[in-house]
Structure 1
Amino acid sequence: MRHHGDVDAAPGLLDFAVNVQGSAPPPWLRDRLVVALDGIGRYPAAAHDEQAREAVAARHDRRPDEVLVLAGSAEGFALLPALRPRLAAVVHPGFTEPEAALRAAGVDVVHVVTDEADGHRLHPDAVPAEADLVVIGNPTNPTGVLHPAVDVRALAAPGRVLLVDEAFADAVPGEAESLAGAADVPGLLVFRSLTKTWALAGLRAGYALGDPELLARLAAPRPQWPVSTLALEAVIACSMPAAVEESRRAAERLATARAEQAERLAGLPGVRVLPGTAPYLLLRLPDGQGERVRAAVRAAGVAVRRGDTFPGLGPDHVRVAVRPANQVDRLVAALADALEAVAA
């Protein structure tokens, strides 16, 4: 359950396994972080954290006390047991780290598995009424499905915490179906990540949005100085209007590139590109051939994300990031050769 794409993306391989856009932050962001390096001789300051919360609050039309800056969304998932849920319902296929953290803390977890034949559509009534924590990604990783906000809202219930993982929401044009600004949904937590759009996977920066009392419960077990000075600076920088506009334009470019990449992959024999809206695509390879095709593609120097570590998927599923056309050329060629070799 704790297998992630970085394990598949070994050095030297063309990386379609990790959903980070680019290999480094844009120059303006890098320059700002370099300047902030002069401050790392001091402990992260409460005033700096307040600046970050104010920047995020302005970005999402929230109050600063409705923001909790995180050392990446993964920290937020690790804190979920502090909410003391009795039964957590996790919508799958989905990112597995929340469930791994909950199970490690002894929390009972039930799967709500969406159906590929139904387009992995969310059915709110499939969630057990007794679940007092519900976890869902939107768009969901790895399916790429973007659930209607009205359906996600329907998961909220009295006495329940609803966690929506929006790690890829800023990569969707217009941030469609986002609940980041929905302060009116009782028990709602929204996690956001800066990792993907801004190529900050090594920095660990993100934030949670929610009711102040709920955020206080979530943060109760945190150590002192949980978020680094550089991560705080990144949160401020990436929440500025110019950065939000840059990410909006990037999301539109990604949508175009995704459609083109999906069309090319769908032309391969036996490959089904499942519908979605995200900076990655979920593929279904010919029945029984997935593991051998994936191994042959890897031998050709291309890394893809295996699908069988996601509940609800199997060895014939792989996830591929959206990449520039010249890199897609290599992916398509490697897959075509692998499919031909395995079929023979």
Structure 2
Amino acid sequence: MHGQPTGVAPTTTGEPDLAHHGDVEATPGLVDLAVNVRRDPMPDWLAAPVTAALAGLASYPDPRPARAAVAARHGRPPEEVLLTAGAAEGFVLLARALSGVHRPVVVHPQFTEPEAALRAAGHRVERVLLDPDDGFRLDPALVPADAGLVMIGNPTNPTSVLHPATDLAALARPGRVLVVDEAFADTTGAPGVRGEPESLAGRRDLPGLVVVRSLTKTWGLAGLRIGYLLGAPALLERLAAVQPLWPVSTPALAAATAVASPTAVAAERAIAARLAADRDHLVSRLSALPGVRVAGRPASAFVLIHRPGGDRVREALRDRGWAVRRGDTFPGLGPDWLRIAVRDPATTDAFIEVLAEILEA
């Protein structure tokens, strides 16, 4: 088995570094395969309202139009939407509002911010570690039945695994808050596949479900900070009670309204289809390299690989001008794991050429 044993494990102090993120890897001068934010030019239908919003900065932000637009996109009433300053703020709100929750569990490997937020708020966190030899697939039976809070990503960062919606739904139950991080859900479509397969964003029947969404990845808005939570009104009211006043800026609200439009949804699906082809190309090239194992069945904007001596490979790549994401800061992984962002075929081919030379050496 590669990585750590599976099962339930308590957190350990200082290991791994939950505060480490891909932007630290992508230093100036390197080709960035460490950050999963799309960097194509902003379309006019998005740039125009964001720019126009700058004329209204003397007024306090009014979230109601954006909230209604996001709610309409997911077929929910506005009171089931909470806008946030990026998806990451949602994890902080959950951690603060749910103080005292019984036995919080985070399913790993996944984005480290949910656990970091829980620990910062004083929670004693348990980890469920998924098995790399089983493609990091979720087995709902691994989650303790008495866990009052469960957090999981879908598709999961960094594994790029897309869990079946039925398996996630099996984790919901009365008395439990189930948090599903869908920050990359809009990257999972493909030709002939309906948009956002396995998403729970439209499910209103599951008790305690909170879906976390990000608008920063596909549309290159990481610097604008905009995301939202979907869930039952009573639960969202608890989260809003610990949120700062006017947390989302006027330009970010304009972006949320635009990105929730039918034009944006159609564009997302076209981008996801193109991404699927680019991802297949990357996976094919990686799989042909000696000693490289692609984890699971990648379904998002990044691919996780295992290669003995991966940390040394990462350093050699940096010396050659390429940044990839280290794996040892994710619970359940280690230094032999690397996360690689999906880029266009030309960039992938140039990267593979350098990586192959490093592996041969």
Q: How would you bin the TM-score normalised by the shorter chain?
A: over 0.9
Contact 2:107 2:152 in 1 (8 A): yes
Which of 33, 55, 70 matches 1:38?
Answer: 55
Which of 318, 329, 332 matches 2:349?
Answer: 329
1:179-194 matches, cutoff 5 A: 179-194=200-215
Q: CA deviation at 1:232?
A: 0.7
- Which residue number corresponds to residue 269 of structure 1? 290
Q: Deviations over 1:251-304 (max 9, x none)?
A: 11111110111101111111111222111100111x2x1111110001110000
Runs of 4 or more off by more than 4 Å in structure 1? none
Within 2, Cα distance between the matches of 1:185 and 1:157? 7
Q: Which moved more, 1:295-304 or 1:20-29?
A: 20-29
- Which residue number corresponds to residue 296 of structure 1? 316
Within 2, Cα distance between the matches of 1:334 and 1:311? 28
- Which residue number corresponds to residue 280 of structure 2? 259
Q: Unmatched 5+ residue regions in structure 2? A: 1-17, 190-194
- Which residue number corresponds to residue 282 of structure 1? 304
Q: Deviations over 1:163-192 (max 9, x none)?
A: 000000011112000000001111000011
Within 1, Cα distance between the matches of 2:124 and 2:315? 35
> Structure 1: which amino acid aligns with 2:141?
D
Q: Deviations over 1:97-143 (max 9, x none)?
A: 01001011110110011001111110111111221110000000000
Q: Which moved more, 1:14-23 or 1:59-68?
A: 14-23
Q: Unmatched 5+ residue regions in structure 1? A: none
Q: State TM-score, norm by structure 2.
A: 0.91
Contact 2:173 2:206 in 1 (8 A): no
Within 1, Cα distance between the matches of 2:255 and 2:329? 31
- Asked whether 1:160 is paired with 2:176, we answer yes
- Which residue number corresponds to residue 11 of structure 2? none
Q: State TM-score, norm by structure 1.
A: 0.96
> Structure 1: which amino acid aligns with 2:93?
L
- Which residue number corresponds to residue 140 of structure 1? 156
- Asked whether 1:305 is paired with 2:300, we answer no
Q: Which moved more, 1:261-270 or 1:182-191?
A: 261-270
User: Number of aligned pairs?
Assistant: 336
- Which residue number corresponds to residue 232 of structure 1? 253
- Please give the root-mean-square deviation of Cα atoms over the aligned residues, in Å: 1.0
Within 2, Cα distance between the matches of 1:202 and 1:338? 34
- Asked whether 1:151 is paired with 2:167, we answer yes
Q: CA deviation at 1:23?
A: 5.0
1:55-94 matches, cutoff 5 A: 55-81=69-95, 82-84=97-99, 85-94=101-110
* Aligned-residue identity in percent: 59
Between Structure 1 and Structure 2, which shows a larger proportion of helix residues? 1
Contact 1:16 1:321 in 2 (8 A): yes
Within 2, Cα distance between the matches of 1:334 and 1:32? 41
Q: CA deviation at 1:26?
A: 2.5
Within 2, Cα distance between the matches of 1:39 and 1:337? 53
Contact 1:284 1:316 in 2 (8 A): yes
Within 1, Cα distance between the matches of 2:41 and 2:53? 17
Contact 1:86 1:108 in 2 (8 A): no
- Which residue number corresponds to residue 8 of structure 2? none
Q: CA deviation at 1:25?
A: 2.5
> Structure 2: which amino acid aligns with 1:83?
L
